[in-house]
């Protein structure tokens, strides 16, 4: 069995669905079901005997110890995190608690559990820590993409909290020998993403005839990675990665935010035409957020060289799949758009025209 934290979130949920489609090995999923955790994402496997769900907080050490002793996993894949930069600006405390204190609790529980294992089990055990490119800071247009050797220069409370958790994971490998693997990924997109992030927010707002908010001049650049490709990369690292190593996972697709929004509008014009006209009419530039990093880009040559992974989806194919998924799943979208979510969107984007 493998133990997944945060498996009801966007990436974790996709990973569990992907894992159970590709493997007979059972999965234990621990998720606190905060606003972005959605058990409906995993409804198709809810009754699968290979899937075990436990609602709980990774900060609860007694819970972690009990689960490890009961289920005795051969690996931990740690997705659980607060992950939205805008939310971290407004409420950094939650990010420090979950991303730093929670990662510490999980690492300590894993270390104690790992030390109870027999020699062969200790040798094969892995702790996979899933992180982000934002720990590296921001790039200028002429800079080379982030490599695994880049210094950490986090600029947002979210990025700082993830950088701290990366450092803890590294220390638990070097100090205690816990076989840790770390991956830093670029911006993910795909099915089941909570509609606060750029791509699903644009799709959902466009279909509702609402404004499509774009920060600043819209020229902030991100490297876009289809979530299915990310899941394949995690499986490859978990199976063959070297303990103590970090692997960057990138889509090799740098695009400005405004280009992403326009590409979505173009797809919707073809797939779901609006009687009111082209969707681009809804684009609204708003005041930039504080400390908005200008550019991220990932050098993913190490994982390709060592593990043979490279993205299978082009941005065009991945975006089309994503838009088609949201068009085909209006019930899932409606169910995540709670009153609390709408209040967040209104507070973050309402009345902020540039």
Return the SS3 of 253. coil
Per the domain annotation, does 174 fall within a domain? yes
Q: How far is CA 75 from each of CA 5, 26, 71, 116, 346, rounded to the nearest angstrom?
A: 11, 11, 11, 14, 40
Domain harbouring 127, CATH code: 3.40.50.720
Q: Is 254 helix (H, G, I), strand (E, B) or coil?
A: strand
Judged against a pLDDT cut of 70, whether residue 231 lies above it is answered with yes
Distance CA 49, CA 36 (A): 25
Residue that is written with structure tokens 């606003």 in the block: 35
Catalytic residue among 158, 189, 215, 247: 158
Active site residue 134: yes
Q: Is 137 a member of any domain?
A: yes
Q: Are 295 and 220 within 8 A, CB to CB? A: yes
Q: Which of 31, 86, 134, 166 is catalytic?
A: 134
Q: Over 50: is that where the pLDDT of 111 sits?
A: yes
Among residues 82, 86, 133, 299, the one annotated as catalytic is: 133
Task: Round to whole Å and give the CA distance between 78 and 98.
Answer: 12
Are 5 and 12 spatial neighbours (Cβ–Cβ below 8 Å)?
A: yes
Q: Which two tokens stand for residue 310?
A: 């490279």
In a domain, 240, yes or no: yes
pTM flag (> 0.75)? yes
319: tokens are: 């975006």
Report how far residue 163's alpha carbon sits from residue 129's, in angstroms, rounded to the nearest whole number.
12
Task: Please classify residue 47 by burial: count the beta carbons closer than 10 Å to its beta carbon, then call 0-12 exposed, 13-18 middle and 19+ buried.
Answer: exposed
Q: Is 133 a catalytic residue?
A: yes
> What total number of domains does the chain contain?
1
For residue 187, the SS3 value is strand
Residue 336 domain-assigned (yes or no): no
Evaluate whether residue 342 is within a structural domain: no
Residue 351 in this model has a pLDDT that exceeds 80: no
Query: What is the band of 353 on the pLDDT scale with cuts at 50, 70, 90?
Result: very low
Cβ contact 94:157 at 8 Å: no
Residues 19-60 pLDDT 10s: 999 999 999 999 998 877 888 899 999 999 999 999 999 999
Listed residue (42, 129, 126, 127) closest to 81, CA to CA: 129
Tell me how far apart the alpha carbons of residues 249 and 281 are, in angstroms, rounded to a whole number: 34
Residue 139 lies in a domain: yes
Does 201 have pLDDT greater than 60?
yes
What is the rounded average pLDDT of the residues 221-248? 98
Q: Is residue 278 included in any domain, yes or no?
A: no
User: What are 68-93's pLDDT values in tens digits?
Assistant: 999 999 999 999 999 878 889 989 99
212 confidence band (pLDDT: 50, 70, 90): very high
Note the Cα 17 to chain centre separation in Å: 15
Domain that holds residue 150: 2-188+226-251+296-313
- The answer to the question of residue 108 being in a domain is yes
pLDDT, position 38: 84
How far is residue 23's CA from residue 45's CA, in Å, rounded to a whole number?
Answer: 13
């Amino acid at each position: 069995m493998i133990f997944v934290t945060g498996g009801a979130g966007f990436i974790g949920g996709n990973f569990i669905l992907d894992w159970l489609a590709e493997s007979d090995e059972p999965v234990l999923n621990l998720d606190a079901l905060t606003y972005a955790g959605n058990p409906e994402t995993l409804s198709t496997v809810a009754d699968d005997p290979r899937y075990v769900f436990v609602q709980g907080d990774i900060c609860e050490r007694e819970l972690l110890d009990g689960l490890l002793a009961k289920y005795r996993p051969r690996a931990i894949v740690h997705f659980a995190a607060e992950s939205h930069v805008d939310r971290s600006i407004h409420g950094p405390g939650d990010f420090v608690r979950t991303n730093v204190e929670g990662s510490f609790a999980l690492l300590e529980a894993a270390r104690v559990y790992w030390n109870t294992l027999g020699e062969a089990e200790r040798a094969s055990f892995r702790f996979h820590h899933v992180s982000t490119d934002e720990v590296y800071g921001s790039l200028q247009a002429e800079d080379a993409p982030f490599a695994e050797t880049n210094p950490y220069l986090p600029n947002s409370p979210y990025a700082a909290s993830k950088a701290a958790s990366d450092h803890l994971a590294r220390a638990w490998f070097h100090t205690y020998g816990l076989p840790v693997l770390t991956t830093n990924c670029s911006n993910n997109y795909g099915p089941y993403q909570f509609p606060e992030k750029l791509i699903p927010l644009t799709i959902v707002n466009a279909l509702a005839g609402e404004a499509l908010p774009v920060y600043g001049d819209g020229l902030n650049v991100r490297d876009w990675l289809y979530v299915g490709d990310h899941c394949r990369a995690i499986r490859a690292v978990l199976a063959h990665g070297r303990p103590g190593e970090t692997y960057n996972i990138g889509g090799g697709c740098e695009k400005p935010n405004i280009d992403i929004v326009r590409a979505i509008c173009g797809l919707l014009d073809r797939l779901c035409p609006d009687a009111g006209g082209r969707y681009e009419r809804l684009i609204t530039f708003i005041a930039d957020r504080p400390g908005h990093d200008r550019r991220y880009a990932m050098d993913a040559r190490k994982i390709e060289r060592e593990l043979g992974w490279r993205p299978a989806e082009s941005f065009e194919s991945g975006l089309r799949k994503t838009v088609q998924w949201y068009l085909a799943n209006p019930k899932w979208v409606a169910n995540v758009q709670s009153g609390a979510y709408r209040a967040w969107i209104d507070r973050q984007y309402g009345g902020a025209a540039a």
